[in-house]
Chains A and B, each alone.
Chain A
Amino acid sequence: MNFSRVWAVTYKEWREIFRDRLFFAMSFVLPVGIFLVLGFGISFDVEKISFAVLDQDQSALSRDFLHRFIDSRYFDYKGHVNSDRELMPLLAHSDIRFALIIPPRFLEQLTSGQATSVQSLIDGVFPYRAEVAKAYLTAIIADFNAQSLAAYWATTRAMPKPQALALVSPVRLVPRYLYNQALRSQWSMSSGLMMLVLMVTPPFLTALGVVREKENGSIYNIYASTISRSEFILGKLLPYLLISGINILVLWLLVMTVFGTPFKGDPLFYGLASVVYIICTAGVGLVVSLLVRTQVAALMLTIVISFVPAILYSGLLVPVESMGAITHTEAHLFPTMYYLRIAWGSFLKGLGATELAFDVLALVVYAVLLWSVGFLNFHKRPST
């Protein structure tokens, strides 16, 4: 391999990128833009769930019960309705996410020591939200029950209130959240988004860079020149790797400053692993560029094989363990899953090279594989 020829291609490519000011600017703005929008936009913190109430009892006790919902930061009270017919249109129009129906004789039954029931209608369009809303609802009702039961036993069996409370809820579960103590989805999301952004942008840059030459026909200059295919590929991709390398640092800084996510791992290890990852994702772009002839097709194919898996199959939104059989296998076929483990491991868990060796190895294998495929399928003698 003649490095002066590699350098010549790199220099030519760099000038071409640099002269296309919009493209050059976008190659830095795009990753940061995607990162910020997604980091602020995706949130799994289920809060401010809007709801309406049909109170058929209208007693002091029912109002007291309702206030536990109205005062909760998880719920957002939208008002009362007067009949259950009014509830369905509100739910259908997504004005409210659930409705509470308090039956008549609510106060009467509870004070006379009888059981009663509260119905809730939950919008199940997004099952995760429905599930979480239901869990919050259950917890509030259970808490209310525990207190009213304790009060009831304290009076009917003449025992002190703390003892009655211990009787009602004897076991308390103390959750301890490791790695992400406040259970803030932004910590997980921002560090995980490095995986997404670095999966999407390098393939775009490289695939468009190579296919542009194919579509414009300027690649015939390369075919006719003395440069070998490996020199061309290496020289062509180096500027894009440099841009992506700078983007790693920029994103890293943003994760820590804008989102305040702690970095607990080994910076040197994480930096090196990230470089392996962008070499790998640039390889994805290289392979795409060999499969298609037009830039439109390159664009669409890159979206299919980078964007979609990075969002859906990496474990960012959906844990790999809870995927179906086919998707579970598919998740292992993309490098995103391995890098996400490295990112979360480094940022949140404080893991280093020893624990994450397997994942880095997987990335290296991908990089070698993708670049070999790219090299072997790049021909200086096109068939047509």
Chain B
Amino acid sequence: MNFAELVVWCDRVLAMTVKELKQLLRDPALLLIIAYFFTADVYLAGSGINLSLRNAPIKVLDHDHSAASRELMYRFRAPYFDLQGELTNPRLAINALNAGSLLAVLDIPDGFQRQLLQGQPVAVQFQIDSTNTVLGTLATAYALEITAGFGQDFIAQQRGLGTAQQANLPIIANRPRVLYNPNRIDGWFMSISELLTVITILSLMLPAAAAVREKERGTIEQLAVSPLSPLQILLPKVIAMGMVILLGVGICLGLIIVPIFHLPINGSVGLFFAVTALYVFATSGIGLFIATVSRNLAQMAMLGILLLMPILLLSGAWTPPEAMPQLMRIGMKVSPLYYYNDMGYAILLKGAGLSVIWDSLLGLLLLGIGFFNFGVWRFRRQFG
């Protein structure tokens, strides 16, 4: 290809890109939906989604009515628990747990204080509504910590051990430090996760829908008889949608994630955009493949969702690869979102540079080239 041909080639791609952008701009409903995705949707996910235990409603079945039982129950307090008083009989406890108005019931046995004073071990029961396993797990963990702390303090008080004496016991102090998100703000994780999800949905669906629409209306035949090559027909769709998506990412970071959630961007924003562009390219390859398989938009929509689900799920955002079954872990290696997700968090939160993410970048690049060429190859066979 000489220089003149290259100019013509680029000129055609440019003209087609302009055409795609115009077409997109003329669908105001779609534009509104895209804007919603990048702003309100990310905001809602980041501000409202909270995977931590906050003010979980609990009540106590106190069979002992002693100073010790009261001391123990009042330790179940904010921010984790919301102690809503006492229950008089176990039947009420079950009813409240069934109705979901209580998360847990603490059952303190008769003779609790007496046994403690005699130095006998006592068991208290903690009934938890575990339909939601996240809450069940956290509530149990905190309750165990609270009761253990109560027990130690009770004994220390009884034996007259001050804090100074406790320091002279052979125990290991636990000094955990949470990195990258020291206050464990769910909004940081959720807003980024939602942004990556939105990018995935749009980059899979938009170029594919643009291609299928041409097939459904028959305008693809016009393009096929024009001097445009299949690549020149498909690439502009990806470029146009990619531009819209990158713009959306910029708006989302600049208007929502940074100012509202105060997320400290520790890495390079430029690198994040570059990685995003590569990701849009890779994912749109999958979309183009779907576009060649389906004859109309309804088919494309269903195939798109069918592929979108595993991609979103095998991303490693919700369940990290090490906790996945073996088969799923293999699936993750061909999911572009897995690499993108890794890099997204690494760049934005962990402040990682190229030296850390190079292997994920390489994986994404290879997948992208593979998917895109496959999509174009299928299209060429259909219309070439």
Contact = CB atoms under 8 A, between A and B. Distances in A.
A38 B306 CA distance: 11
B305 to A, nearest CB: 6
B325 to A, nearest CB: 7
A144 B134 CA distance: 26
A131 B138 contact: yes
A180 B116 contact: no
A30 interface: yes
Interface string A349-366: 101000100000000000
Contacts of A328: 48
Interface in B108-140: 116, 119-138, 140
A338 B50 CA distance: 20
Nearest to A315: B132
A119 interface: yes
Interface in B28-53: 29-30, 33-34, 36-37, 41, 44-45, 47-53
Contact of A127 (B99, B186, B213, B309): B186
A132 to B, nearest CB: 6
Given A131-B138, A326-B47, A121 B177 contact: yes
Given A124-B182, A212-B297, A178 B129 contact: yes
Interface string B250-282: 000000000000000000000000000000000
B322 to A, nearest CB: 5
B176 A125 contact: no
Given A94-B342, A120-B174, A323 B48 contact: yes
A312 interface: yes
Q: Considering residues A91, A149, A291, A296, which has the most beta carbons from chain B within 10 angstroms of its beta carbon? A: A296
A175 B128 contact: yes
Interface residues of B, number: 122
A173 interface: yes
A95 to B, nearest CB: 10
Interface stretch (B12-20, B228-236, B349-357): B349-357
Contact of A319 (B116, B123, B132): B132
A296 B184 contact: no
Interface string B84-123: 0000000000000111100100000000000010011111
Given A139-B144, A166-B119, A304-B41, A120 B168 contact: no
Contact of A149 (B36, B169, B298): B169
A121 B179 contact: yes
Interface residues of A, number: 128
B310 A37 contact: yes
B27 A20 contact: no
Contact of A45 (B103, B184, B313, B323): B323
A279 B124 CA distance: 47
17 contacts: A23-B299, A37-B309, A46-B137, A91-B350, A92-B351, A94-B346, A124-B180, A128-B186, A130-B184, A131-B141, A132-B137, A139-B141, A139-B145, A171-B150, A177-B128, A297-B33, A330-B48
The 8 A-B pairs at the shortest CB distance, nearest first, are namely A327-B48, A135-B141, A41-B313, A124-B181, A127-B184, A124-B178, A117-B173, A295-B297
Interface of A: 20, 22-23, 26-27, 29-30, 33-34, 37-38, 40-50, 65, 76, 89, 91-94, 97, 109-132, 134-139, 141-142, 144-145, 148-149, 152, 163, 165-181, 183-185, 188, 200, 204, 208-209, 212, 291-297, 299-301, 303-304, 307-308, 312-313, 315, 317-319, 321-324, 326-328, 330, 341, 344, 348-349, 351, 355
Interface of B: 27, 29-30, 33-34, 36-37, 41, 44-45, 47-57, 72, 97-100, 103, 116, 119-138, 140-145, 147-148, 150-152, 154-155, 167-182, 184-186, 188-189, 201, 205-206, 209-210, 213, 293-299, 301-306, 309-310, 313-314, 317-320, 322-325, 328, 342, 345-346, 349-352, 356
Given A49-B322, A110-B172, A171-B124, 17 more contacts: A26-B306, A41-B310, A41-B324, A42-B313, A44-B134, A48-B323, A113-B168, A128-B186, A129-B320, A131-B141, A145-B171, A170-B154, A175-B140, A188-B131, A293-B29, A299-B209, A324-B47
